[in-house]
Amino acid sequence: MADTMTIKLVFSGGLELLFGNERNQSVLIPPLVPSDNSTHSSPSSSPSTPSSHNDILTGETKAADLEYLIYHLRDHLLKERPELFMENGTIRPGILVLINNTDWELEGEGSYQLCNNDEIVFISTLHGG
């Protein structure tokens, strides 16, 4: 079973203001997460018991993906104004997402499965030019 993953984060385009003004951060994400994206359990505990295999089969858990990461960031890292980050269960339109320097639209957007040491960049475009 895979271990907890370190995901590197970069916030720019003004988005860093919502995350305590820290442009570069990182989080620990377990390999399996609840399918309903609930982020109640603490990130450092990773369910690596045999029952988790059944959880995938029953649809209760899924491999950690970008959709989950966004919920996790909103619930655990965001300091203020969640409506400026998420809308309708996904990232707010106008915020660009890059996975390892590649447009997330080429990687499956929310359904991209996270790998250890991935770098996710969030750039807001919602400001004056």
Residues near another protein, by CB under 8 A: 12-14, 17, 93-94, 96, 98, 101-103, 105-108, 112, 121, 123-129
Helix (H, G, I), strand (E, B) or coil at 19: helix
Question: CB-wise, 40 or 81, nearer to another protein?
Answer: 81
Dist. CA 115–CA 111, nearest whole Å: 12
For 91, the token pair is 């990232």
Question: CB-wise, 28 or 123, nearer to another protein?
Answer: 123
Question: CB-wise, 3 or 80, nearer to another protein?
Answer: 80
For 105, the token pair is 């639209």
H or E, element range at 51: helix 51-58
CB atoms under 10 Å from CB of 17, counted, come to 14
Nearest to 7 by CA among 82, 90, 54, 64: 64
Question: CB-wise, 20 or 45, nearer to another protein?
Answer: 20
